[in-house]
Amino acid sequence: MGAVPAEAGQEPAERGSTPAKSPVATGYGGAVSSVDADASAAGLEVLKKGGTAADAAVATAAALGVTEPYSAGVGGGGYLVYYDAASRKVHTIDGRETAPRSADKHLFTEDGKPIPFAEAVTSGLAVGTPGTPATWERALRAYGKKSLAENLRPATRLAQHGFTVDETFRKQTAENEDRFRAFPATVDLFLPGGKLPKVGTTLKNPDLARTYKELSRKGSKALYRGELGRDVVRTVRKPPVAKGSDRKVRPGDMTVRDLRAYKTLSQQPTRTSYRGLDVYGMAPSSSGGTTVAEALNILERSDLGSLSKKAYLHRYLEASRIAFADRGRWVGDPAHEDVPTEGLTSQKFADSRECLIDDGKALKSPVAPGDPRDPEECDRGDADQAAPTPYEGRDTTHLTVADKWGNVAAYTLTIEQTGGSGITVPGRGFLLNNELTDFSFVPVTPGVHDPNLPGPAKRPRSSMSPTVVLQHGKPVLALGSPGGSTIITTVLQTLTNHLDRGMPLLDAIAAPRASQRNAAQTEAEPKLMNDPVRGQLEGLGHSFKQNPEIGAATGVQRLGDGRWRAAAEPERRGGGSAMVVRPTGG
């Protein structure tokens, strides 16, 4: 959220004013980068008190649950990629939400037809079993030095004393106002006095402060085995709709048994070699790691640094187009689907697909998927299986943290749509996710197996792409972004801007973006739409449509002298916040 001066007479930083915001910071002792200054300050506070990157990631995420409640919170889930400096190994935690155990492939159909997407979005039907509290607890048990209570303290204080409403928060509230008004608890929390919050005012969330205190005392079992969980289940099964509302809000089928059965997963990260670096990402149920890895492998043979801007963007867009074709055919929840992760991330498969790129002509979408299980030379795939990429909600958040020991956390978390389901758990201070809308409602290509159909306790496919890059076993940089399926292209473009085109990390993050996801048109931000290179790419057959804003990346980088550099978006979503423990400048 963008920094907004506090109202005159507001209490000092410890008690509610907005910290100063900068998109870049350099120094020693650790670093935090997030979309919000209050959240970054919470993480920095924990680092200064001897916390690890895991401790600071939890503190930052909990604070984002206060100041970015439409993007993340207790009612959602996410993925953590963690570099452990002691072992020089990268680990992951899959905290993705799950469907109820009663769910089947017909979850979002009625009379054999998909229900309207807008109706699914605002419903109990779309709410997955939350994974965020379990993720926090698992991360701290494995990599933390402090208790959950200690790490929740800054966010609890922030919820009690409030944060300063900025333009981004007011705009997001306004965009959701109509559906928010269907739920009295949401109105009470985010439309104080029944009106949109004014920029510069302070918004408090005492209910969330109490929820954080309960989690501090009882741990995640407060949600998965306690009264907090029972409140969530009641809200899902009978959404508390305002009297007189004409909005159709379908109930969900979550049970306390679903909560009790929920588990985070620890699995091997994806890994690929690129330009002598090791790039680690999130394996399925997220498609982020496999798709970024495949696209990088496709680009490995291209000297992107020496290409013209036109040639570079053409190759980047085509690699992304092809990788998304393969993502759609093969990636789903590996507990339910046979996902060929090793094949998708192999150089052999990428080489079989790279030959599709013609430097003189753009491919036509949708491109057919190849077969990573048995790559053929110049694999053009089966045209009957070609399918466009379905829509994913784009309001997620990402934070990146490093500590004085050299540990690094890249953590992407979400409640899916901006404002999630729109349903606030009464008395608890947080919105429920609508993550199950990331499933395919019906097969994307009729008659072709879709690995992303709903199923019992299944995790919907995600595009979240927390990424850590190592060289000789030590961190070079880590990054990630919100943005639905544009997360993958944002991370890919930022990596190639930095690693191949030589841009400083902040400039690589700030550069205008284009996103090609096996669609007829490439989405591009205004600065690219107005750049002469657009016409040059159109001459190759590319077609563009404008997207006002793609992603909102944050990252940290280890410099050669041992310092950390934190970098965040300078402008998107009002600009992000980068902080270090002991700033040095330069």
CA 387 to CA 369: how far, in whole Å?
9
- The secondary structure of residue 30, as a DSSP letter, is E
Q: Which of 164, 168, 211, 396 is catalytic?
A: 396
476 within 8 A of 557, measured Cβ to Cβ: yes
- C-alpha–C-alpha distance, residues 175 and 348, integer Å: 46
Cα separation, 275 vs 279, whole angstroms? 10
Spell out the residues 6+ positions from residue 22 whose beta carbon is closer than 8 angstroms to its own: 577, 578, 579
Q: What residue type is assigned to position 48 of the chain?
A: K
- Alpha-carbon span 541 to 523, nearest angstrom: 14
- C-beta separation of 387 from 445 below 8 A: yes
Pairing of the two strands 544-546 and 113-114: unpaired
Is 396 catalytic? The answer is: yes
In which element (H, E) is residue 295 found?
helix 288-299
Question: Which parts of 445-529 are beta strand (E)?
Answer: 467-471, 474-480, 514-515, 522-524
Those residues whose C-beta lies under 8 Å from the C-beta of residue 54, and which sit 6 or more positions away, are 82, 139, 140, 142, 143, 144, 407, 409
Cβ atoms of 18 and 38 within 8 Å: the answer is: yes
What's the longest Cα–Cα distance across the chain? 69
DSSP H or E segment with residue 223? helix 221-224
Length of the chain as a residue count: 586
For 51, which DSSP code? Answer: -
Task: Specify the DSSP element, H or E, that contains 350.
Answer: helix 347-354
CA 378, CA 322: separation in Å to the nearest integer? 12
> Residue by residue, what is the 3-state secondary structure of 324-346?
HHHHHHHCCCCCCCCCCHHHHCC
Which residues are the active-site residues? 396
